[in-house]
Structure 1
Amino acid sequence: MRELNLDQVRTLLAVADLGSFSAAARALHLAQPTVSLHITELEARLDARLLVRGHRRVEPTAAGVALIERGRRLLREADEAVDAVRRQSRGLAGRVRLGSSTGVVVDLLPQVLQALEGEHAGIEVEVSILGSAEALARVAAGTLDIGLVALPQPPLPGIRITPWRTQPVMAYLPDRWKAPRRVTPAWLAAQPLIFNDPGTHLFRLTMAWFAAAGESPRARIELNYDAAIRSLVAAGYGAALLPAQLEESVLSNARIQVRPPSPRISRRIGIAHRARGTDGSTAHVIELLERFRG
């Protein structure tokens, strides 16, 4: 059996509700022969009589009543589906899939999500914790809408990457250590160290900073979660190079001291998304991110 035609179901409901083909034609802005054709084709498709002409009005048969009851739900759900697609396309509602590292999610993204809630409450951002390479791959594959990725990145066909934020990287040290006002690679290489996971861009940035000064230290532990690294620093386990936090919570931690590295290090972050086919909800999130550019 062929699938139901929703326009024909809509016509059936109009005839049953209004009691005549002519009244249904006027309500649907159709010619009366078109209304008759819709009912004839629907009955042929279902191999069932759906309407009978009474003395004063057209009445549904038992089969017609069964289809009308379910048809109302079908049409309501179809209208809701169309409305949801339109709202998503216009950016009034929808789900946007965003991927980024833990540091960006914890340190930079909350203020963006707070602003989004105030301006576009119908848009839900689904956040995945991903490294830059995986985030870019998912954006390219269409399983992620936006990636907040470390820069620079190699160009990918169909993917647009624009600079977003630059974060200074600071040295986080246990408070009981006697540390210079500015931390050099030579001094830091002689201390117990906590590094990011080798697969991260921050790890490569850190190792390049040491290598430029002729140092190649090894870490006591490697993690991919900045908050856990800061906790280990506070416990005296070692020192770490991490992006500076916007909030002052770390600076107020009596067990951690923060020192600028010399030479300076900065982490650059970009917004990656598909160059074409971006829906309205994704466009709104990108526009909001760009307002926090810095």
Structure 2
Amino acid sequence: MSELRRLRYFLAVAGERNFTRAAERLHVAQPALSRQIRQLEAELGVRLLERSTHSVEPTEAGRLLMDRGAALCDEADRLWRDVRGFAGGEQGALSVGYSTSTGYETAPALLAALAERHPGIAVTTRLLPTAEIVAGVADGTLDAGLVRCPPPAPELVRTLLRLEPQGVLMREGHPLADGPYVDVAALAGETLLVHHREANPGHYDAIMDLFAEPERAPRLLLRQLSFDAAHTPVARGEAVSVVGRSAVHGLPAGLVWRPLAPVATIEIHLLTRGRPGRPALARLLRVATDTAHTGGWLRSPDTA
């Protein structure tokens, strides 16, 4: 913008009190600099500089423009920088949904990494059931979603972020808690707390696949609450539950977790819709893959 350029020229001359030094600092020819200052004075209708053979001094109007013009230029620089940031993804806004199970560790780690690397991206988060996350990403209500075992859908892109080792959550003192791990076959006589299949068919089926042989299948207790931080039926000793290792963070007192044997993992994906046309979304995907790599989330538990 020509007015801002002329303002910057004026500030340089007024600061140096000399056209020659200001021209050298700005890397412009002195006659061109003098012409720009005269045009600025003509536009404003007021003399800004008192010129003499040996010195240049700002007038009263010039001193006012000096005092407030520098802040105006600084603000314009910040504004241009922020606007340009949208082109590269350094600025922007994202809406991210995540399920309860991914909220123990995966979602917080990813969002913290994004905030650290790209503080200009404002993220709105929503804790939602898996089905609502899938629907939200599909219809554009959400930009991305973190879910376990999402269903395949042609309009969705699934980025695998984590192979989370699974284990048994149970009350302290339970006989299965005596050893360092729990054999899957030992669950045959237990009551297993699970969510309704409709809540997340992929995850439900993955859990049921652990018990491929009918005689190994435990009794099922269907979860009535979509979110129960206290794991109430488990805490009461009414059931055990198969949950990911990240659930160990913040476990209520009186509960213990033991890994399953043989090793079993559940996939956690970042869902997006089509190609990430928005630069901020592309930044999120890059941070997600980097976080998965540095966190060792995709390593086989046998080699972890």
TM-score range, shorter chain: 0.5 to 0.7
When residues 259 and 230 of structure 1 are mapped into structure 2, their CA distance, relative to the original with a 3 A threshold, is farther
Tell me the distance in 2 between the aligned counterparts of 1:84 and 1:197: 46
CA distance in 2, matches of 1:83, 1:256: 51
User: Displacement of 1:12 after TM fit?
Assistant: 0.7
Q: 1:39 aligns with which of 37, 40, 55?
A: 37
Identity of aligned residues (%): 24
Give deviations 1:205-251, integer Å, cap 9, x for gaps.
Answer: 227856997999663531335xx15465224354434223385986x
Cα separation, 2, equivalents of 1:216 and 1:89: 54
Structure 2 residue aligned with 1:289: 291
1:233/1:256 contact within 8 Å kept = no
How far does residue 258 in structure 1 lie from its aligned partner after superposition?
4.7
Instruction: Say whether the 8 Å CA contact 1:25–1:31 is kept in structure 2.
Output: yes
Q: CA RMSD in A?
A: 5.0
Q: Distance in 1 between matches of 2:138 and 2:31?
A: 51
> Hey, what does 2:244 align to over in structure 1?
243
- Say if 1:183 and 1:260, in contact at 8 Å, map to a contact too: no
Deviation of 1:170 (Å):
3.9
CA displacement 1:158-207 (0-9 Å, x = unmatched): x753212122444433346677953699856xx484638965x3x66227
- Check conservation: 2:192, 2:218, Cα contact below 8 A: no
Please show how residues 1-294 of structure 1 align to structure 2 within 5 Å. Answer: 5-54=3-52, 56-80=54-78, 99-108=97-106, 123-124=118-119, 128-131=125-128, 133-134=132-133, 137=136, 144=143, 147-150=145-148, 151-156=150-155, 160-175=157-172, 182=184, 191=191, 193=193, 195=195, 199=199, 201=200, 205-206=203-204, 219=222, 221-224=224-227, 228-230=229-231, 233-236=234-237, 238-245=239-246, 255-256=255-256, 258=258, 260=260, 266-272=265-271, 275-278=276-279, 282=284, 285-291=287-293, 292-294=296-298
Deviates most, 64-73 or 176-185: 176-185
- Determine if contact 2:158/2:269 at 8 Å carries over to the other structure: yes
Q: Which runs of 5+ in 1 are unaligned?
A: none
In structure 2, do the counterparts of structure 1 residues 207 and 271 end up closer, same or farther at CA, with 3 Å as the change threshold? closer
Kept in 2: contact 1:96–1:282 (CA 8 A): no
What's the counterpart of residue 301 of structure 2?
none
Which consecutive residues of structure 2, in runs of 5 or more, have no partner in the other structure?
Answer: 177-181, 299-304
Alignment size in residue pairs: 277
Q: Is the 8 A contact 1:162 1:271 kept in 2?
A: yes
- Render the CA deviation track for 1:38-70: whole Å, top value 9, x for unaligned: 323433443433223245322222222112111
With over 3 angstroms needed to count, the CA separation of the structure-2 counterparts of 1:72 and 1:19, relative to structure 1, is: same
Deviation track 1:100-140 (CA, whole Å, cap 9, x = no partner) reads: 333323234566688x59xx956458573444554884698
Alignment partners' CA distance in 1, 2:259 and 2:283: 40
The TM-score normalised by the length of structure 2 is: 0.63
- Provide TM-score, normalisation by structure 1: 0.65
Aligned-partner Cα distance in 2 for 1:51–1:14: 12
CA distance in 2, matches of 1:197, 1:51: 79
**More displaced 10-residue stretch of structure 1: 33-42 or 214-223:** 214-223
| Matched position secondary structure for 2:246 | coil
**Contact kept? 1:195, 1:240, Cα under 8 Å:** no
Rounded to whole Å, the distance in 1 between the matches of 2:145 and 2:223 is 31
Asked whether the equivalents of residues 209 and 265 of structure 1 are also in contact (C-alpha less than 8 Å), the reply is no
Contact 2:167 2:258 in 1 (8 A): yes
Deviation, 1:10, is 1.0
- How far is the alpha carbon of 1:11 from its aligned partner? 0.4
Instruction: Check 1:101–1:43 CA distance in 2 against 1; reply closer, same or farther (3 A cut).
Output: farther
